Amino acid sequence: MRSPTAYRLIRTAGILAAVFASAYSGRPGERQSMLRVAFLPQSSPSSLPCSGCVKLGTLPEGTWEAVPDDVFLSGLAAKPPGKLLYFSKQEYEAAIHGLSAREVVRVIRKRLGEWSENAINDAQDRVYRLQTHCLSLTAGSWHAESGPEKRNKLEEHFADGLQLLADLVGQGRYEGMSLQQILALALRQEARVLAELSEISKDSPIRQQSGTAIGAMTATARNRAAILQSALRETGNREFAGSLPHIRLERVLFIEPRDKELQRLLVARGVDFLEWRKGLVAPWPLDGVQELRKSGRSVAILYMNGGDFSADLASLTSAQLERECAERAEPGSSDARTVNHLRALRLEQHLLLRNVAALAKTGTGGETAALAGLAAEDSAAMLQEMAVAVNGRGVPGDHLPALALAESELLREAMFFRQWAGSQERKELEQRFAEIVRRKLRDQERISALMNPKDQTQ
């Protein structure tokens, strides 16, 4: 089972488009103001009118506003303190889209009651999302660049970005694991990637659009699995020497009509489900879909995995859930979710391989070199796959200005989180963000040099 923190980091890898389309929609190189959405109690000094603040709504006990960083940070020391509601105004607008004023108030109260108190714990998730966006722009820049020197620099930049993500998801997750244990985990995850690729290849529209890419991804996944099996054998584990772990895929379905028998079955299984319209939304084994249809029920896939669904059940209001399910049930909406799910799973596996290679370095067996080589080889494969994905979306070729802006915003976020963690006396978290700031300052210099090569020779 994934820890809640690790799962939050991983599940966001494939759902970036809506947030980043608005966050980086300016002219190339143009830096746009980032405002936090915070709740300011009436008695707090930070609730006084401020330059740059945008009032968004009012409750009897205070207001929620879009505020600059300094206003939010100063409000943390107030009595009572201000509380963060959303990391950005764009996230807030996406959260309340299409809701009535009364429903927005419910969203704010739920956010205050269940999320704001520990909002800083999701700061690494925010960094993960921003860094994933930077990876995509780096791959697009690399694909468009013809000069070997610049391409090498972008490859280095891409590998460093992947390592930052690997460090984020590895913190607190793999400590205490033996090499044999983490290899078994990586092999099981590789088997999942192969199972998903096999399932997706059956989808006619996706096969027609991405058949070649899926075939290449399948071949590289089989090669990775073979190397992992060999390394496991060297550690003395022969359980999967001749075959991969069995993976039973699951989806979250909208099953209609609902009936008491189906509800009793879900309750007995102990899974989360939602009554929606005239049916049920619930996790279900993918190999059991045909049986449901044979029983006369209609079935539509709303979520690619149960973790996303459970997270939404826990964090969204009933109105938000209604909107989310309705949007997911729209005809033609599933193809993008399928592709994003596969990309997120693929990235997760690569980050796991990096952690496998890091643990293998502490050993003395012959598998160490092979695993280090596997991680490096897979980094190149990830770069190629992301470049193909960016190019396939028809995005204009010059991504460097957008990449420079994205890196600048990520550095700004890391500096803000470092200061926030320090104000809360979260020393370990403050140190983590200080290290991210150090890395991002280096990355910013690298991208600046790529954009202004003449400056480096003067």
Q: What is the pLDDT of residues 358-373, one digit of tens each?
A: 998 876 556 677 898 9
pLDDT at 5 over 90: no
Residue 23 has pLDDT above 70, yes or no: no
Return the pLDDT at 283. Answer: 97
For 309-362, how does the pLDDT look when each residue is reduced to its tens digit (9 = 90+)? Answer: 999 999 999 999 999 999 999 988 888 888 889 999 999 999 999 999 999 887
Q: What are 256's strand-pairing partners?
A: 298
Residues 18 and 140 in one domain: yes
Establish if 215 belongs to a structural domain.
Answer: no
Domain edge (last residue) among 291, 319, 336: 336
328 and 399 assigned to the same domain: no
The closest of 218, 223, 125, 166 to 356, measured between CA atoms, is 166
Are both 402 and 283 inside the same structural domain? no
Residues whose CB is less than 8 angstroms from the CB of residue 97 and which lie 6 or more positions away in sequence, other chains included: 323
Q: Residue 32: what pLDDT?
A: 44
Residue 417 lies in a domain: yes
In a domain, 94, yes or no: yes
To the nearest whole number, what is the mean pLDDT of the chain? Answer: 87
The CATH code of the domain that includes 325 is 3.30.70
Q: Does any domain span residue 455?
A: yes
Residues 272 and 400 occupy one common structural domain: no
pLDDT band for 30, please (50, 70, 90 cuts): very low
pTM of the shown model: 0.88
Question: What's the total number of domains in the chain?
Answer: 2
Q: What is the DSSP letter of 357?
A: H
Is residue 2 domain-shared with residue 148, that is, in the same domain? yes
Residue 302 lies in a domain: yes
How many CB atoms neighbour CB 219 within 10 A?
11
Residue 69 lies in a domain: no
Q: Are residues 315 and 428 in the same domain?
A: no
In which domain, by residue range, is 290 found? 250-336
- Based on the fold, state whether residues 427 and 302 are members of the same structural domain: no
pLDDT recorded at residue 338: 87
- Residue 280, C-beta contacts closer than 8 angstroms, at least 6 positions apart: 254, 255, 256, 258, 262, 263, 266, 273, 274
Q: Which stretches of 237-366 are DSSP H helices? A: 260-269, 289-294, 306-315, 318-328, 334-360
d(CA 184, CA 204): 33
| Dihedral (CA of 342, 345, 351, 353) sign | negative
